[in-house]
Chains A and B, each alone.
Chain A
Amino acid sequence: MSLLSFNGIGISGLSAAVPANTIDNLGYQNGLFGKEAAHDIVSKTGIFERRFAPPGMCASDLCFAAAEKLLADLSIDRSEIDLVLFISQTPDYRMPATSVLLQNRLGLSKQTAAFDVNLGCSAFVYGLSIAFSFLQQGGFRKVLLLDGETRSRVYSENDRKVAYLFGDGGVAAVLERNKKFGDSYFSLNSDGSRENLIKIDAGGYRKPSSVDTVASRMVDDFGNVRSEEHGYMNGADVFNFVIDEIPKDLRRLSEYAETDLHSLDYYIFHQANSYMNNYLVKKLKIPVHKVPTSLERFGNTSSVSIPLTIVDKLKLQLRESNNVLLCGFGVGMSWASAILEMRDCQISDMVEL
């Protein structure tokens, strides 16, 4: 039973950075799909705009900007940061780990623990659970959680199933121990039998990069084109997975937390697409006004989408204390949920790079 609970640990501050380069989805067309296709996809997915990092800008650059903003806003003494976590599936290099490079860039001490977490849409919640676990030990004072993605570069622009969905962004969060924070609960899950639902087949060590793996080819009867080093997604099965597993996980978590699933202040789900998210919310019978979304502006930014939604939509809404549900699901398949109290959380203005 991968259930965790904590008390007296929480998020002190949260910030986000996105590329200034804005893509208008209705105008995002290429030779393969017409205006009508873009219109159909936008109306169903609810994604009107996305941000694309220009060449040379990495997920880590977005996280770095978000972190600088947050550390300044919170007036944090950098010597108190004992762990820096970097969550991404689009790191700077295959090695070394990007978190280590960020330790140096951010001017953190050499006595800072640093490592990367390679998970997708579930990863912010996983990352929080790791940060909370370290903070439970007396020796760690503050954790800097960095979560960034340049998903726009993962998929083929000529694959209609994914070309209109993904965008880029980065966030930073500071976590610490403080008696003012209430109870928090986590549920963590994985199912590798569904590895083929969302995947990049080649370019790792199982199937190394070659002339063949970067060659684009038509992959289906709809005329979608991609290479083996592009990501693909089986949207129908992902949808099946979500409506099957997520309600079960949330029930399990709410029982563990002894909390009525319908009594919380806000429900922040991974921003996949509005069709799927709306259906999930309806199935869970959660009031729509408690479910903020940022899909329309930023699309699906993988693990970044939950904290990005908080920064974008809840900055002015959060009161002194808020009980929130966070739920991320996707590539792996991997999914994780949390019920926690957000108390006095400093949310910085969004940074554009």
Chain B
Amino acid sequence: MEEKFIKAFKEALELEDRTIDLTDTFRDYEEWDSLGHLSLIAILDEEFGVVIEQAEFNKLSTVGELMVEVKKRMV
């Protein structure tokens, strides 16, 4: 799951050539912007069948927290 999630996350934000740590604050990435956010929404829906509402999404700050939230919603 973690590998699949990180791969999808990197693809959404075009971070393929970077090392991603679960403790990274994703909004601090230079590549994070509203368009990157749209890509992330699409890939989470496509790969995991998960939609996270904005209010909930705003509470997440690290890559790891996002992964946990996705996992939780997949059940």
Contact = CB atoms under 8 A, between A and B. Distances in A.
* Dominant secondary structure of chain B at its interface with chain A: helix
Nearest to A160: B34
B51 A222 contact: no
B54 A234 contact: yes
Contacts of B34: 160-161, 222, 235-236
A40 interface: yes
A243 B45 contact: yes
Contacts of A44: 35, 38
Nearest to B33: A222
A243 B38 contact: no
A256 interface: no
Contacts of B41: 236, 239-240, 243
B52 interface: yes
A41 interface: yes
Given A243-B51, A244-B51, A236 B45 contact: no
- Most chain A beta carbons < 10 A, residue from B35, B39, B46: B35
Nearest to B27: A221
Interface residues of B, number: 15
Contact of A237 (B33, B39, B46, B53): B53
B51 A240 contact: yes
B54 A276 contact: no
Given A237-B54, A244-B51, A276 B45 contact: no
A161 to B, nearest CB: 6
Contact of B38 (A160, A222, A235, A283): A235
A276 B53 contact: no
A222 B35 CA distance: 12
Given A236-B34, A239-B38, 11 more contacts: A40-B35, A235-B38, A236-B54, A236-B57, A239-B42, A240-B41, A240-B51, A240-B53, A275-B38, A275-B42, A279-B42
